[in-house]
Amino acid sequence: MSKKPVLLITALMLTACSADKEQTFDGQHHYLPHDHAAHYINNEPLGPLVEPNRSPRHSQDGIPMRMSAGSRSAYLPSAGPAMVGGQTQLQQHMSALAYRLVASAHHLNEDAGIAVSGFVDQQDYTTQDDFSRLLSETMMFQLNQYGLKVMDFKTLPYIRITPQGDVSTSRDYRQLSGRINAQYILQGTVSDNMGGKLVNARLVSMSDHHVVASAQQFIPAYLVASAIKAQGPAPRVMTPAQRSRYAK
């Protein structure tokens, strides 16, 4: 008779411990992977969280927006006018794209390398512009923040010192290594739609070409334009005739 209360208390303690344990990403379910930045920040909220249905600025279709590493599972705090400019909103859309991609992964080996390819035009699968290249660079950053192994295959095996500066990356395949050491490749397409661009991203296994994860995000046209204009005007190249005229 005296053993039953002890067994009951022990069972309740084990149940409470298992309930408090945080779910982790196991490559098969829809749990987010481990964020290494969580070791260095305080995850306790500073105040009440903003409900997503009350402030569209803090969420996109119910998905939490991550403005910095480590806050991927928390809604943004109240933001002033300076935090809702074009670049910040563009980062939110790209963060939502990465969130959807990682959350949809099935049987993903998180220790395997991922190579991020360029986002191409959906019409011809070859054309890339400044916005497409910005997408590729941003997705490399986003996947790395989720703790995944991202391979930068454009990194040179050496540092080239030039009068303009030190260079460690290249787009010339003759200067790069022939081995990527990646099991997955992230590829995507960009298509023009009314009012903006529709971005599709896919994480594909390089061994059998099956789609491991996929995501879709619509980005308004004014945000795309702001990203391109932020780079400044294109440099003006003078023709030989113009140079000779100025030389006189």
Whether 6 is in a domain gets the answer no
What is the number of structural domains in the chain?
1
Judged by average pLDDT, the poorest of 22-31, 42-51, 60-69, 119-128 is 60-69
Domain of residue 201, residue span: 32-41+52-233
Q: Is 119 inside any structural domain?
A: yes
Give the predicted TM-score (pTM) of the model: 0.60
| Cβ atoms within 10 Å of 68's Cβ, excluding its own | 12
- Tell me what pLDDT residue 107 has: 87
Residue 241 in domain = no
CATH of the domain at 97: 3.40.50.10610
DSSP 147: T
Mean pLDDT of the chain: 71
Cα 72 to Cα 64: distance, rounded to the nearest angstrom? 7
Of 17-21, 157-161, 199-203, the poorest mean pLDDT is in: 17-21
Q: Is residue 159 part of a domain?
A: yes
Question: Does pLDDT of 157 surpass 70?
Answer: yes
In a domain, 162, yes or no: yes
Angstrom distance (rounded) from CA 52 to CA 58: 6
Specify the pLDDT at position 35: 45
Residue 244 lies in a domain: no
Q: Name the more confident of 29 and 126.
A: 126
61-73 mean pLDDT: 41
Q: What is the pLDDT of residue 210?
A: 93
Q: Is the pLDDT of residue 46 over 70?
A: no
Helix (H) or strand (E) holding 149: strand 149-151
User: 124 or 1, which is more confident?
Assistant: 124
CA 234 to chain centre: 27
Q: DSSP string covering 194-235, please?
A: TTEEEEEEEEEETTT--EEEEEEEEEEHHHHHHHHHTT-PPP
Residues 76, 80, 85: CA angle, nearest 5 degrees: 90
Q: Give the separation between CA 64 and CA 89, rounded to whole angstroms.
A: 13
Phi, psi of 239, deg, nearest 5: -80, 160
How many whole angstroms separate alpha carbon 217 and alpha carbon 223? 13
pLDDT at 128: 85
Which span out of 4-18, 24-38, 172-186 was modeled with the highest average pLDDT? 172-186
Which parts of 146-190 fold into alpha helices (H)? none
Asked if residue 204 belongs to a domain, the reply is yes
Run of H or E residues at 26: none
Residue 202 pLDDT greater than 80, yes or no: yes
Classify residue 194: in a domain, yes or no: yes
Please tell me the predicted confidence (pLDDT) of residue 245: 60
Q: Are 63 and 99 in contact (CB under 8 A)?
A: yes
pLDDT band at 66 (very low <50, low <70, confident <90, very high): very low
